[in-house]
Structure 1
């Protein structure tokens, strides 16, 4: 009986301690509960470290979480976040069924796929229920793979963004397969993905510099150099906006929108803010294994 009373007192004490924590800590506790780290692996670790130069091609399998959604004759970027799900922009898969698409993991050169990449069938498409096709608010979709992923050098997940962390003023890494439009011609699709380092801007800067401000909803952020043309095109929708920590680990902080203009006209690039959708993501991926974040 004494042991039982002692246990009850310990539980109430723990509840009291938790209640005194701030919202950020509570949110992180929820994520730790969902991210049960059921696989001995690390997320967000690239295969190579290199100095970021604007518009350079990725090294082979540099970011092993980069994925592609095969939609009939077209492709769309996606990002692997655990052993069962990739995340992309909702506008890319709206109205499609799992039979309409497949996901390529370990993708690097989409013009000349090699034997190291793997095509995986899809079990379920989960579009954010609050997605607005009109202004692209809540533009996220989770795609559940039919079989769990076995992680190796060429296929590993990225870490989700840190709850409550403000990335403003930092430099983001953006990945896409498009070449920016020039005065002489239209957008040209690149076989190999490119990466660019772009500043993460605040609300007022985004609202004043977006190609079309009507698509800057409450859950959007933006990256770019104010007064300069954007290197992000609308065909890059679904691709990642990432932040590299001092330890070299990458967080997924955003998913690019399809309302980005890479014409010579100055603009910044919009993305859906992952931090504002962490609860929705975790609630819909409880059956997956997340890797450790170092």
Structure 2
């Protein structure tokens, strides 16, 4: 990401868990809850494509990517359910539901995020968070980062981004560039505040570089993919 703010003052308003392999951060993701109260972890399908559940764990409640922190908890992954129509070549349906080995205790630092209650509106302000690189090809921060940027219209996304699929994706960014997700942010949440409630609007998926002009980041559209997720967790 570029032009980010440190997230230590607002970490309690949602959870972005760090998806890890061999205890190293590889992707972001979000804690969600089913109607029955069971917790699940949402990430991008490409983050776990070809992997086995026992290779992954998720660290919750931590502001830091590498530093140990009091109050953080880690859960192993017991099952990976990828969207059946995920396409590794064009990244359509880039979403996966991970079942945790056991539930986590919710707190000010660990809270599930609400699912998107509706589709996005053009230029709706959204926030993306993660531990990805701070510049294209740069280094990754230890502290969780955030950046705010608008969700663009379907027509803008289709004209700006080659390979954009309006049935499964949305895009977000500034036409002049300068604000976006980057390598290591994949799977993490793009969320919007609606009536004071934070909703998971997108899942970091792909893009051409990071924060380049006329190249907004592309996200799995959680509202459009919500019926499939609902069929898995409910």
Instruction: Judge conservation of contact 1:224–1:268 (CA < 8 Å) in 2.
Output: yes
- 1:88 matched to which residue of 2? 43
* Structure (1/2) with the larger strand percentage: 2
In 1: Cα distance, 2:66 partner to 2:7 partner: 15
**Between Structure 1 and Structure 2, whose CA radius of gyration is higher?**
1
Q: Does 1:200 align with 2:148?
A: no
Q: Does 1:130 align with 2:88?
A: no
- SS of 1:204's equivalent in the other structure is helix
Measure how far apart 1:95 and its partner are: 1.3
Q: In the alignment, which of 7, 10, 14 is matched to residue 64 of structure 1? A: 14
Instruction: Judge conservation of contact 2:157–2:170 (CA < 8 Å) in 1.
Output: yes
Compared with structure 1, are the counterparts of its residues 180 and 206 closer, same or farther at alpha carbon in structure 2 (3 Å cutoff)? farther
- 2:69 matched to which residue of 1? 114
- SS of 1:192's equivalent in the other structure is coil
1:205-220 paired onto structure 2 within 5 Å: 205-210=156-161, 213-216=162-165, 218-220=167-169
Measure how far apart 1:188 and its partner are: 1.4
- 2:26 matched to which residue of 1? 75
Measure how far apart 1:64 and its partner are: 3.5
Instruction: Give the TM-score taking structure 1 as reference length.
Output: 0.72
- 1:176 matched to which residue of 2? 130
Q: CA RMSD in A?
A: 1.9
- 2:210 matched to which residue of 1? 262
In 2: Cα distance, 1:88 partner to 1:233 partner: 15
- 2:219 matched to which residue of 1? 271
Measure how far apart 1:264 and its partner are: 4.9
What is the number of equivalent residue pairs in this alignment?
A: 226
Measure how far apart 1:107 and its partner are: 2.1
| Stretches of 4+ aligned residues off by more than 6 angstroms | none
- SS of 2:141's equivalent in the other structure is strand
- 1:228 matched to which residue of 2? 177
Instruction: Judge conservation of contact 2:181–2:211 (CA < 8 Å) in 1.
Output: no
1:146-161 paired onto structure 2 within 5 Å: 146-161=101-116
In 1: Cα distance, 2:213 partner to 2:153 partner: 20
In 1: Cα distance, 2:98 partner to 2:90 partner: 22
* Stretch of structure 1 that moved more, 116-125 or 200-209: 200-209
In 1: Cα distance, 2:214 partner to 2:221 partner: 22
Measure how far apart 1:124 and its partner are: 0.6
